[in-house]
């Protein structure tokens, strides 16, 4: 949002969506199912309030907390489920298509056990999202546990101008490192 303000000269509205894993919220065993079971929680903030990061975080938490057992029951009902799904898609699409609104998508891959997977070659040294240069997914942030389990990596996809602004953000530089090597973030990587 700071990059948007620096680029445009004003605070624009933002829509933040976060993927919610439905499997963890379901009461019954999902042993015989495959594929992704997810929901998209969203929060929006108008341009004049964009500096209120705490308010945006509270909205996201509230949206995620609504995805509970009662919500899952509604979603499983064929008619109510279709209504909920189509309503969610319509609302996010309507909000994201408004002039001046920037959409930021989040997904957390934390605590999914990626570093425990062993397909015969040993456990992974480094887990990443997709690592494709010139990705079609812009304004996407994927959170992943570090291999040592003592931190979180944020895989951020922005256009070049926004990324350059982000990399200069003093507040963020006090909290995070940009492009750390996976070979130096933990002694467990060394032979």
Domains of the chain: 2-189 (3.30.559.10)
Q: Is 18 exposed, middle or buried (0-12, 13-18, 19+ CB in 10 A)?
A: buried
Closest CA to 43 of 53, 24, 31, 57: 57
CA distances from 29 to 26, 81, 117 (A): 8, 19, 22
Give residue 100's region: left, alpha or beta (phi > 0; psi -120 to 50).
Answer: left
| Average pLDDT value for residue range 176-181 | 76
Kindly report the pTM of this predicted structure: 0.76
How far apart, in whole angstroms, are the C-alpha atoms of residue 61 and residue 7?
A: 28
| Average pLDDT value for residue range 116-128 | 88
Give the pair of three-digit tokens for residue 115.
Answer: 């570093």
User: Using one digit for the tens of pLDDT, what is the confidence trace for 28-53?
Assistant: 665 666 667 788 899 887 766 545 67
Residue 67 has pLDDT above 70, yes or no: yes
Q: What single-letter DSSP state applies at residue 171?
A: H
Across the chain, mean pLDDT equals: 80
Closest CA to 41 of 21, 27, 24, 55: 21
Residue 62 has pLDDT above 90, yes or no: yes
User: Using one digit for the tens of pLDDT, what is the confidence trace for 11-34?
Assistant: 778 888 898 888 777 766 656 666
The pLDDT, as a whole number, for residue 190 is 35
pLDDT confidence of 130, banded at 50, 70, 90? low
DSSP 107-164: EE-TTS-GGG--SSS-S-S---S---TT-S--SEEEEEE-TTSS-EEEEEE--HHHHH
Angle at 56 between CA 54 and CA 58, to 5 degrees: 70
β-pair type (38-45, 152-157)? unpaired
Contact 23, 37 (CB under 8 A): yes
Residue 191 has pLDDT above 70, yes or no: no
| Average pLDDT value for residue range 54-65 | 87
């Amino acid at each position: 949002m700071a990059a948007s303000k620096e680029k445009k000269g004003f605070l624009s509205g933002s829509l933040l969506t976060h993927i919610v894993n439905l499997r963890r919220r379901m009461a019954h065993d999902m042993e015989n199912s495959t594929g992704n079971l997810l929901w998209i929680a969203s929060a929006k903030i108008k341009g004049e309030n964009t500096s209120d990061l705490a308010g945006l975080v509270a909205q996201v938490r509230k949206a995620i907390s609504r995805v509970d057992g009662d919500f899952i029951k509604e979603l499983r009902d064929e008619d109510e489920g279709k209504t909920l799904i189509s309503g969610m898609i319509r609302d996010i699409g309507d909000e994201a298509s408004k002039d001046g609104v920037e959409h930021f998508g989040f997904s957390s891959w934390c605590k999914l056990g990626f570093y425990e997977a062993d397909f015969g070659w040993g456990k992974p040294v480094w887990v990443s999202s997709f690592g494709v240069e010139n990705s079609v997914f812009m304004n996407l942030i994927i959170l992943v546990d570090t291999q040592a389990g003592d931190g979180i990596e944020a895989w951020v996809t922005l256009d070049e101008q926004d990324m350059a602004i982000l990399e200069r953000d003093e507040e963020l530089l006090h909290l995070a490192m940009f492009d750390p090597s996976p070979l130096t973030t933990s002694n467990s990587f060394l032979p």
